[in-house]
Structure 1
């Protein structure tokens, strides 16, 4: 008697399994960006006064942005560490560990007393936990992207790789919406005293949800096939650096524009809008919530286009549009008019979604299975150092010295850097993930 599963039964099971997989990849990046943007918003609004109270407002903002950048320095380290285990023992177990480190660090940030309570120890603890947050985050995206793309059917890797790329939009809306609600319901004194801690503590609930989902998924087919063919290597990072360093650099350069668009249009713009343009915190957070919807809309459009036309053409168009958008910063954001500011934020975040969506498929496609977790994760997070870690800090310095036109020039330069990375790489849309060497 045959024990094979009938086709009409297997198909729904495959669909249900894929639905669990894409949700597991999505939920992790949603929590990742929730955690990261919770800190980014706090850095723009309250970290300076709470942890660096004896400085001028400008110095407080710069100090807060320095702590913001610490996690981006830690992220490549996390990518190396978690990438090693992801390529050695599997995607599933590594993703569970990265989620625990990331969520635990974020939750504890919400418990750190301010400078007025414990003095210099407060910013030290903040920096340590911010570093820990970066370590966990460094291992998150690469595994989530692989979870989706290594389960994708032929010709749909861009679409499946889009689901972890939707995480930023949802995480952003959740964090920004929570801060928006707190801004409406609390006084400034209450917000600075304890209200800003609430979004950090909520992270613990989201991590429990993420763990529940991820503990129920199966290992990816590509990794199982690599085990059967005895293709795992003892030191994935050494193999990556020795044989695949150039694709790693290309991937990192391609990521720069995504990070720059996101953090300039959110962290810097929020700080500038509230501190320099004197817009209310509530109104600016509301404009960001509207704009991020367009980032979410751009993500599936760009992913589908990358499956149809290829990763490179879609990204090149996005980079050229991002280059042009830098010239819009002064007349739109600098006007202080809510309608023009909303238009600027919408343009930048739409372009972020358009350039970010293909990366969920592109970065994994640059590397063979035995170093794919390490390669995709390191490229993604090296791009973060170049495009995000120092972006709000440099933007603040440029705004102080030369005005918004200089900050717009910074966005345009970031777009050119990514365009260089994309132009020099091969097209990967039709590559077989199990045959990449």
Structure 2
């Protein structure tokens, strides 16, 4: 199957490799943007667990309202591959920087509007329909964000530290976990439950406008990827990047779409469904669940950094494989640990789940961009990432409650174990990429 190879040629003016100072700026820009975008995305998940069943779906009752709230969360994942195709197309044709500014603006606007929305009590069925529309726009924006943020760093970083620098785009999402839970925790501690459901939940959404301004300033100051600029001068840009990716690297597109299924399943289950599980099933206090969420976000950050650093030393594929195979066993142990019912066991379950996910997510930030050549890298990496998001991020939180209701929590653990095994098998179908050059314009058989 196709193997990447560097194309050698004259380096166009203005496309020299970034300095260490430039790399620090690019890393900060990657992380800052994804902090904002995933903060916006994650506060929706927390609100789905704690507030939206009461605010937007009160007629359905608590159980059905929670399912409906998570369904609107899942709709965004359906929009993510479309966002990957749309923004990936422009990212591969007009550049990474301009596209990332656009995704940030769209995400911010959608999130602020959610915070300003009238409730079902005020406008009836129009409220959940508007919520659904804004959630789709969020999905489109996030669909184009991760690939651009990570490959901007990957295409600029020195080979030996590519895993570390590429990780910053994903690290922003981990920092967002801390901020999202902390914001809701502060709101919950400073107001009554009635006030929180009435108006307090809106504060995290509207407050994101400040983060958006910061993110736009940071991204406007960075330079375009030198690898993209060289490819544009050397060979032009792809007219149909998605079709070209499937035609030239079908195996990488297929298996790449499965590598992150486990990460999405573990991450979004921890961030949304387990928050509901902790309060409704284990009867833990909301502040306890949110406090553990903050701690879990810190653990997620540390494990992601560790995974990225290890991948620079031992290889992306090896770190991902070991972590996913261990995750299969952990998935089966997760709910027996949670069902002990104490705050400590709940915290251990959530934190360990994110440790294993972080050890995979760190290396994947470089692994996914490295799989593809420059002409369609944005589209291909984003498409694989967001297809995995549907399988791992949208489906498990939506089916978790019905599975537990019908067959118990062990059955849900078995379902998670199958998803982790899918990720392991897909990783086995791909080759190590640590030594590949990012400046690639051709493929050779091998």
Say yes or no: TM over 0.5.
yes
CA RMSD of aligned residues (A): 1.3
Alignment match of 2:80 (pick from 69, 75, 79)? 75
Alignment match of 1:33 (pick from 29, 38, 47)? 38
Whether 2:349 is the aligned partner of 1:344: answer: yes
Contact kept? 1:292, 1:350, Cα under 8 Å = no
- TM-score, normalisation: structure 1: 0.96
Alignment match of 2:164 (pick from 146, 159, 162)? 159
The structural deviation recorded for 1:330 is 2.6
How far apart, in 2, do the equivalents of 1:331 and 1:137 lie? Answer: 33
Match of 2:118 in 1: 113
How far apart, in 2, do the equivalents of 1:42 and 1:18 lie? Answer: 36
Q: Which is further off, 243-252 or 310-319? A: 243-252
Whether 2:25 is the aligned partner of 1:20: answer: yes
Whether 2:59 is the aligned partner of 1:54: answer: yes
Alignment match of 2:212 (pick from 207, 210, 226)? 207
Match of 1:183 in 2: 188
Match of 2:332 in 1: 327
Alignment match of 2:104 (pick from 99, 106, 122)? 99
Contact kept? 1:329, 1:404, Cα under 8 Å = no
- TM-score, normalisation: structure 2: 0.94
How do 1:232-271 and structure 2 match up within 5 A?
Answer: 232-271=237-276
Match of 1:399 in 2: 404
How do 1:336-375 and structure 2 match up within 5 A?
Answer: 336-375=341-380
Whether 2:301 is the aligned partner of 1:296: answer: yes
Corresponding pairs, count:
427
Contact kept? 1:34, 1:172, Cα under 8 Å = yes
How far apart, in 1, do the equivalents of 2:38 and 2:107 lie? Answer: 11
Kindly report structure 1 stretches of 4+ aligned residues shifted beyond 4 Å: none
The structural deviation recorded for 1:292 is 2.0
Specify every segment of 5 or more residues in structure 2 that has no aligned partner in the other structure, as ranges. Answer: 1-15
Whether 2:130 is the aligned partner of 1:125: answer: yes
Whether 2:90 is the aligned partner of 1:85: answer: yes
Contact kept? 2:146, 2:170, Cα under 8 Å = no
Match of 2:279 in 1: 274
Whether 2:199 is the aligned partner of 1:194: answer: yes
How far apart, in 2, do the equivalents of 1:245 and 1:97 lie? Answer: 29
The structural deviation recorded for 1:37 is 0.8
Could you give the per-residue CA deviations for residues 274-312 of structure 1, whole angstroms, max 9, x where no partner exists?
111111110111112112221111111111111111111
Specify every segment of 5 or more residues in structure 1 that has no aligned partner in the other structure, as ranges. Answer: 1-9
Could you give the per-residue CA deviations for residues 312-358 of structure 1, whole angstroms, max 9, x where no partner exists?
11001110111111122232111111111111111101111111101
How far apart, in 2, do the equivalents of 1:192 and 1:154 lie? Answer: 49
